[in-house]
Structure 1
Amino acid sequence: MNAPLGSAGKTSNVPLLDVNRGNAPLREEFIAALTRVVDSGRFLFGPDVTQLERSVAERCEVEHAIGCASGSDALLLALMALDITDYDEVIVPSFTFFATASAVTRVGATPVFVDIAPATFNLDPACLERAITSRTKAIIAVHLFGQCADMTSILAIAKAHNIPVIEDAAQAIDAKHGGKPACSMGTIGCLSFYPTKNLGGMGDGGMLTTNDGALAERLRLFAAHGMNPRYHHRVIGINSRLDTLQAAVLNVKLQHLAQWGQQRTQNALGYHAGLTSSGLHHTLGLPIALPGNEHVWNQYTVRIPNGQRNMVKQRLNEAGIGSEVYYPIPLHLQECYRSLGYRPGSLPETERAAEEVLSLPIFPELTSAEQQTVIARLDELLLPRRAMAA
């Protein structure tokens, strides 16, 4: 697919994500919702927060949803409510955003990093059992890039050892595994409303989910300085509230989430068809949705092997095409975790992914022409390598 790139040999700009393009059609709805909050003066614990909690609980098919200040705080609060503390171990994938592991460290526990399944980039259940010790007090399963981890296997292992499972679904609201929504399968689910997420606010925001009423009350307690009633502190908590202004924006956007999800899926199918018909699938590793999973495509992440990833990213950038590497340095090799004793080669699939992955634009408003531009540029960049392999 060697489509022309224009007289100057460069494409028009194709951003990795265009937040303004998505927000612009809803501007008047946002202004009306924010005006109601301003006029009410209820900037904390307002009715929009309650409405969003109810809507998310219904969407995730759980009994309780608790707003908090961010997805990072959601992970921290989940660990606090489960009494994870010093000398405990929490199993986490190394191929994820830093907050997954830093929350473990912040409560005094030790993250135990495990490898990923190469097809999904998610925690490999085959590696999970081997990592469990007498100190293991929780497992964090990350639903990376919009696809649920193998929760059937993970939950079976966790149940056999009586270990709670936290779902890090920061990138995966509306994703499903075996017909069950993300955040409905584990002991606690964690969501992020960071602006780049499928359901993104205008700043930070997060949500916790659970079917356990007593645990829901503990989560609310820890998110409010451990205070209930006022000035009576039963535990040492933190200050983590979902602002009413953020909830008002998210309530507007939630009405469009299903449509945006369909558009992301169509864009993923468009990439698959275009990259396959051009023959690029012989050079690139294309992402897949495993049978039984409903992928929501927070990212469309390809693999570019043979040390070519950084070159391709640079050339795309020069052509005005956005792309990003999530994540270039695995957590087990980060400087701050050096004392844990991991070395290069400790988690081979994680390290291979870190060297190969590249995420392409897949936001809902991406046009067909923009997508064809991305595919055409990749075709030009990788054509010599394909010819050599032929």
Structure 2
Amino acid sequence: MQFIDLKTQYARIEQDVRSRIDAVLSHGQYIMGPEVQALEEELATFVGVEHCVGLSSGTDALLAAMMALEIGRGDEVITTPFTFIATAEMIALLGARPVFVDIDPVTYNIDPMALEGAITGRTRAIMPVSLYGQCADMDAVNAVAEAHNIPVIEDAAQSFGATYKGKRSCGLSTIGCTSFFPAKPLGAYGDAGACFTNDAELARQLREVRNHGQSRRYHHPRLGINGRLDTMQAAVLQSKLAIFPDEVEARGRLGARYSELLRARGAGTTAEPGESGVLTPSVAPGNTSVYAQYTLQVSDREAVAEALKARDIPTAVHYPVPLNEQPVFHVPGASATPVSAEVAERVISLPMHPYLTEEVQREVVEAVAEACGLEG
């Protein structure tokens, strides 16, 4: 059983992918070739924003976004500790300080109610993460940010394709950043990412940052990075984007089926925990999820993982240690994030991709139910 099945997807698009790659090999423009601009236009249209800037990874997208906003040494950026390290890593690499606030216990996304108390005179941005495939409460986050004239950078590495109150992830804030790492909902065949914005000036600055700070050849008005999106990856993403709406629909349907099957066995939800000790994810009203991960909470994660492994069912943990407890970021006496700490001990992710069959899902649910002592 595959945790994420890219082979089945490739079988579906093989001829188109090969044709697009052959076109790149024929024209030979491997850096910033025509496919890059074409993909940017297609992605901007999909998200519903004016500008998309392709980048070499989702991590570089976060870095470029903060560089375009001129965030640097001595500044502070508020974010969540319950995420992959890249979120805070890029803040720190710029010399700024990540300020961690706790998460909402239902969605696992940043708690907007905790933001106000974390803002100081040094706060230069708020960076919510749209975790596991659904957007953070962006209206609430944006309202706090606007009250303090602070930009918002959505880390949408896991939520590309999801919607929030009818708008797509990446089009909900000052700058939206996403990753096209192969395992993401929309994935390349290597590292890739993008930034999205409706601000033409920010888009110009992002394009300069990604290309060594150049405004024109050998003219560098700012510091930048080598963050260009490869033409080959852009071509692959064009092929995948054509089937992406269908895959988004499948992800939503399959995530809902997992939850339905598990609740039929007595599992609760993060919104309504019940007494089983097994909690399925909750999608907030107004949200859709692309289920980048389908993540449960269980009482004895190690035992559940071992039981599923014995039946050749892969699992993963996203994420076992909150970032404010990682050695590189831990500050004795800093504000605690108890929800993040508790959730990090209980979460476990099940196989999830658009090509799961109902038979496989039932097999996974049966194994979870047996391992957790669920009814029926």
Q: TM-score, normalised by structure 2?
A: 0.96
1:12-51 equivalence runs, <5 A: 14-51=1-38
Q: How many residues align?
A: 369
1:314 aligns with 2:306: yes
Deviation at 1:129, TM superposition (A): 0.9
1:257 aligns with 2:244: yes
1:76 aligns with 2:70: no
Question: What letter matches 2:313 in structure 1?
Answer: I
1:154 aligns with 2:141: yes
| Matched position secondary structure for 1:263 | helix
8 Å contact from structure 2 (residues 55, 228) kept in 1: yes
Distance, in Å, in 2 between the alignment partners of 1:249 and 1:170 is: 18
CA deviations over 1:183-242 (Å, ceiling 9, x no partner): 112111101100000100000001011111011000011111111221111111111110
CA deviations over 1:155-186 (Å, ceiling 9, x no partner): 00000001000011111111111111111121
8 Å contact from structure 2 (residues 265, 375) kept in 1: no
CA deviations over 1:261-289 (Å, ceiling 9, x no partner): 11111111211121111223333111011
1:197 aligns with 2:184: yes
- Single out whichever of 19-28 and 146-155 deviates more from structure 2: 19-28
CA deviations over 1:21-78 (Å, ceiling 9, x no partner): 2212211111111000000001111111111100111111110000110000000000
Distance, in Å, in 2 between the alignment partners of 1:96 and 1:309 is: 18
Residue in 2 that maps onto 1:357: 347
Match of 2:87 among 87, 100, 103: 100
Distance, in Å, in 2 between the alignment partners of 1:95 and 1:199 is: 22
8 Å contact from structure 1 (residues 283, 386) kept in 2: no
Distance, in Å, in 2 between the alignment partners of 1:372 and 1:153 is: 37
1:298 aligns with 2:275: no
Deviation at 1:133, TM superposition (A): 0.6
8 Å contact from structure 1 (residues 333, 342) kept in 2: no
CA deviations over 1:302-335 (Å, ceiling 9, x no partner): 1113xx0111012211210011100001100001
- Single out whichever of 18-27 and 324-333 deviates more from structure 2: 18-27
Distance, in Å, in 2 between the alignment partners of 1:119 and 1:300 is: 14
Residue in 2 that maps onto 1:268: 255
Residue in 1 that maps onto 2:273: none
8 Å contact from structure 1 (residues 63, 210) kept in 2: yes
Question: What letter matches 1:284 in structure 2?
Answer: V
Distance, in Å, in 1 between the alignment partners of 2:113 and 2:215 is: 43
Match of 2:358 among 364, 368, 383: 368
Question: What letter matches 1:193 in structure 2?
Answer: F
8 Å contact from structure 1 (residues 332, 342) kept in 2: no
Distance, in Å, in 1 between the alignment partners of 2:26 and 2:81 is: 45
Percent identity, aligned pairs only, is: 43
Distance, in Å, in 1 between the alignment partners of 2:264 and 2:209 is: 53
Match of 1:183 among 158, 170, 175: 170
Deviation at 1:15, TM superposition (A): 2.1
Question: What letter matches 2:296 in structure 1?
Answer: V
8 Å contact from structure 1 (residues 84, 107) kept in 2: yes
For the pair shown, which has the larger CA radius of gyration, 1 or 2? 1
- Single out whichever of 116-125 and 220-229 deviates more from structure 2: 220-229
Deviation at 1:106, TM superposition (A): 0.8
Deviation at 1:386, TM superposition (A): 6.4
Distance, in Å, in 1 between the alignment partners of 2:14 and 2:47 is: 27
Question: What letter matches 1:300 in structure 2?
Answer: Y
Residue in 1 that maps onto 2:106: 119
Residue in 2 that maps onto 1:211: 198
- Single out whichever of 267-276 and 67-76 deviates more from structure 2: 267-276
| Matched position secondary structure for 1:358 | strand
Match of 1:283 among 249, 258, 277: 277
CA deviations over 1:126-161 (Å, ceiling 9, x no partner): 111111111100000110011000011100000000
Residue in 2 that maps onto 1:325: 317
Question: What letter matches 1:375 in structure 2?
Answer: V
Distance, in Å, in 1 between the alignment partners of 2:9 and 2:65 is: 31
Residue in 1 that maps onto 2:329: 337
CA deviations over 1:248-271 (Å, ceiling 9, x no partner): 000000011111111111111211
Residue in 1 that maps onto 2:46: 59
8 Å contact from structure 2 (residues 134, 287) kept in 1: yes
Distance, in Å, in 1 between the alignment partners of 2:298 and 2:43 is: 36
Could you list the runs of 5+ residues in structure 1 that have no partner in the other structure?
Answer: 1-13
Distance, in Å, in 1 between the alignment partners of 2:308 and 2:40 is: 40
Distance, in Å, in 2 between the alignment partners of 1:70 and 1:216 is: 17
8 Å contact from structure 2 (residues 55, 195) kept in 1: yes
Distance, in Å, in 2 between the alignment partners of 1:381 and 1:171 is: 28
Question: What letter matches 1:141 in structure 2?
Answer: P
